[in-house]
Amino acid sequence: MSLNAIERLPVMAIQLTKFKCGGFGISAKISHPLADAVALMNFMHAWAGRSRIILRSDSKLGNLELLKPIFNPAQLDHVAGLHPGSLPDSELVAKARSLPMHRFDWWAEDAPGYPAAVKPNSLATMPAPDELDVTKLSPSTFPPWPTWDMGASVDHVQIYFTADELTRMKKAAEASLPDNLKFLRVSRIDATLAHVWTLMNRARGHQGKTESVYMDITLGLRNRIIPSLPDTFIGSPLLIGYVEKTADDATSQELGPIAGAIRQMMLQFTPDAVAAYVHDAAHEVSPQRLWQGFLGTHHTLVTSWVRAKTYELDFLGSQDLARYVQGVMPRIDGLVQFMDFADTDGFDVSVCMERGAMNRLLKDPLLRQYEN
């Protein structure tokens, strides 16, 4: 949500719904710059812990101390060697800009297909005009606006893949890894991402096309830096890396080349590389100017809540854990979210896509090719 749209609004909203059966639902929404999924779930677990103490008159606070939030952005600054008044280090900047990350200029009104409707939102991220006129901006590229029809009807579906399906996907990906990537250890998430992305690209009609398509993957930084940040760190320490393929290659039935490319991309974000990225971002005129991801027919933006412990919430102390958890995402063409589903060891995958393409995806016989 744009900065001018959230002015004077609360940073968090919670809704409680009581059902006739005696059950209840809890909805929580928080400003993304303040919290990512890990921080949000840490809040929910701390709340649930306090609820159990109240309901059981239990004064044991040990576990709650483990969940005590830490708001200290300087912890992230420290790994990048940042301090007040520090200047950009050219070597770190070069290292950061060599990473597979988009640098789409949100301010570029001369970009082909630039939608005038976004200008009021971008103005809120700009310095004063007289300051902007004398400011040198960092290198960037035009956003591919023509590939994103913001007025298109978008449908949302939840696709559940069982543990057995995930195992078969992983084995298929391992068996089809190119020779130069056989040293990689692909994960179940890598294989499932490859499967879902190829389905989406086929549904978008990319077979036989030579232009590039991208999978933009959100990566958490807590465990990618040294020293690592605790899960209780409050904030949204994320970046978005991308995998690029020709459109035709991204429709292949072989999962190995794509799953391997995903794993190879992630391995580039070493502690040193992430520190360089943080260093570079800290010296941007306005980090909001640069979009690391995009949406529409040639981009898929992926976020994962796997291992976020969403199904371990216990508000009552009765071991009646959460029955169903869903991350509510805006209906935007190309948005994908992964979540592990309770104790089934399966994945619940949320997909938003243009209506016609979604219909084709759901009818694709390859959707369930790993079912048996």
> What pLDDT score was predicted for residue 187?
96
Tell me the sheet residues that pair with 28: 14
Asked if pLDDT for residue 162 goes beyond 80, the answer is yes
Tell me the average pLDDT of the chain.
93
Asked if pLDDT for residue 11 goes beyond 80, the answer is yes
Determine the structural domain holding residue 261 and report its residue range: 3-368
Asked if pLDDT for residue 206 goes beyond 80, the answer is yes
Which pLDDT band, with edges at 50, 70 and 90, does 64 fall under?
low
> What pLDDT score was predicted for residue 84?
85
Tell me the sheet residues that pair with 335: 301, 352
Assess whether the previous peptide bond of 139 is cis (omega < 30° from 0). Answer: no
Asked if pLDDT for residue 321 goes beyond 90, the answer is no
Asked if pLDDT for residue 12 goes beyond 70, the answer is yes
Asked if pLDDT for residue 197 goes beyond 80, the answer is yes
Please state the rounded mean pLDDT for residues 113-125: 90
Domain of 93: which CATH number?
A: 3.30.559.10
The tally of domains found in the chain comes to 1
Neighbours of 167 (CB within 10 A): 14
The more confidently predicted of residues 229 and 61 is 229
**Residues whose CB is less than 8 angstroms from the CB of residue 270 and which lie 6 or more positions away in sequence, other chains included:** 224
Asked if pLDDT for residue 67 goes beyond 80, the answer is no
